[in-house]
Structure 1
Amino acid sequence: MPSATDTDLLRNTNFRWLLGGGLVSMLGDQFSLLALPWLVLSLTGDSLSLGIAVALMGAPRAVLIVLGGTFADRHSPRRVLLLSKYANTVILLALAGLLWLDQASLALAYAAALALGIASAFAIPAGTAILPQAVPASSLQKANGLQMGVRQLSLLAGPLLAALVLGARDGGRHTSMAALAAAFAIDALTFVFSAWTLRQVKLRPRAAAAAQGMWRDLAAGLAMVWRDHALRSCYAYWAVVAFFVMGPLQVALPVLASERLDGVPALGLLMGAHGAGTLAGMLASSLGAAWLRRHFGAVLLAADAIVACLLMALGQISTAWHGAALLAATGLLSGYLQVVIFTWIQRRVAPAMLGRAMALFMGIFLGLAPLSAAATGALLRHLSVGELFCGGGALLLAAAIAAAIWTGIPRIGEADCIVQP
Structure 2
Amino acid sequence: MDDPKLQRAALKRDPNFKWLLRGGVISMLGDQLTIVALPWLVLKLTGDTLALGFVIALMSIPRAVFILIGGALTDRYSPKRVLMLSKYANAVLLALLTLLVLNHEPALQISDTLSLTVDLSPHATLNIIYVLAFAIGLAQAFGIPSGTSMMPHAIPPAHFQAANGMMMGLRQLTMLVGPLMAAGLLAISGGSGGNGGSGGMIADARGLAFAFGFDCVSFLVSAWTLSRVRTLAMPSKTEAPQSVLGSVHAGLAMVWSDVPLRLCFIYWGTVSLFIGGAMQVAIPVLASELHGASTLGLLMGANGAGMLLGMAGAAVGGKRLRFATFGTTILLIDAIAGLLLIPMAAVHAAWQAALLMLLLGVLSGFMQVNVFTWIQRRVPPHMMGRAMSIFMFIFMGLAPMSAAAAGWILTMIPLSQLFVGGGIILMAFAALAWLLTPIRGITSNTPQPQ
TM-score normalised by L of structure 2: 0.75
Change (3 A) 1:89 1:290: same
Shift in Å at residue 408 of structure 1? Answer: 2.8
2:107 equivalent to 1:80: no
Shift in Å at residue 296 of structure 1? Answer: 2.4
Q: Show the counterpart of 2:428.
A: 398
Shift in Å at residue 342 of structure 1? Answer: 1.9
Contact 2:39-2:284 at 8 Å conserved across structures: no
Q: Secondary structure at the match of 1:415?
A: coil
Runs (5+) with no aligned partner, structure 2: 111-115, 192-201
Contact 2:335-2:427 at 8 Å conserved across structures: yes
Q: Show the counterpart of 2:316.
A: 287
Q: Show the counterpart of 2:60.
A: 58
Shift in Å at residue 350 of structure 1? Answer: 1.2
Change (3 A) 1:158 1:121: same
Q: Following the alignment from structure 1 to structure 2, what is the Cα–Cα distance between the partners of residues 373 and 97?
A: 27
- The residue type paired with residue 194 of structure 1 is S
**Deviation readout 1:85-132 (Å, 9 max, x if unpaired):** 233345556777897967977576555444332211100111112223
- Which aligned pairs between 1:19-418 and structure 2 lie closer than 5 A? 19-30=21-32, 55-92=57-94, 106=125, 112-135=132-155, 137=157, 139-159=159-179, 161=181, 173-175=203-205, 180=209, 186-201=214-229, 202-203=231-232, 205-208=234-237, 209-253=239-283, 262-264=290-292, 269-289=298-318, 295-315=325-345, 321-376=351-406, 386=416, 388-418=418-448
Deviates more, 1:374-383 or 1:242-251: 374-383
- The residue type paired with residue 197 of structure 1 is T
Q: Secondary structure at the match of 1:416?
A: coil
Percent of paired sites with the same residue: 47
Q: Secondary structure at the match of 2:445?
A: helix
Q: Following the alignment from structure 2 to structure 1, what is the Cα–Cα distance between the partners of residues 87 and 370?
A: 27
**Deviation readout 1:10-43 (Å, 9 max, x if unpaired):** 444433322221111122335555676788899x
Q: Following the alignment from structure 1 to structure 2, what is the Cα–Cα distance between the partners of residues 160 and 84?
A: 27
2:2 equivalent to 1:2: yes
- The residue type paired with residue 64 of structure 2 is A
TM-score normalised by L of structure 1: 0.80
- The residue type paired with residue 193 of structure 1 is V
Q: Following the alignment from structure 2 to structure 1, what is the Cα–Cα distance between the partners of residues 279 and 295?
A: 14
Q: Report the aligned-residue RMSD.
A: 4.1
Q: Show the counterpart of 2:113.
A: none
Contact 1:144-1:343 at 8 Å conserved across structures: no
Q: Following the alignment from structure 1 to structure 2, what is the Cα–Cα distance between the partners of residues 90 and 266?
A: 30
Shift in Å at residue 75 of structure 1? Answer: 0.6
Deviates more, 1:313-322 or 1:115-124: 313-322
Shift in Å at residue 355 of structure 1? Answer: 1.2
- Structure holding more helix per residue: 1
Contact 1:132-1:346 at 8 Å conserved across structures: no
Q: Following the alignment from structure 1 to structure 2, what is the Cα–Cα distance between the partners of residues 150 and 381?
A: 38
Q: Following the alignment from structure 1 to structure 2, what is the Cα–Cα distance between the partners of residues 218 and 409?
A: 26
Q: Following the alignment from structure 1 to structure 2, what is the Cα–Cα distance between the partners of residues 322 and 97?
A: 37
Change (3 A) 1:254 1:193: closer
**Deviation readout 1:126-146 (Å, 9 max, x if unpaired):** 111222344455654553343
Shift in Å at residue 5 of structure 1? Answer: 5.5
Deviates more, 1:377-386 or 1:232-241: 377-386
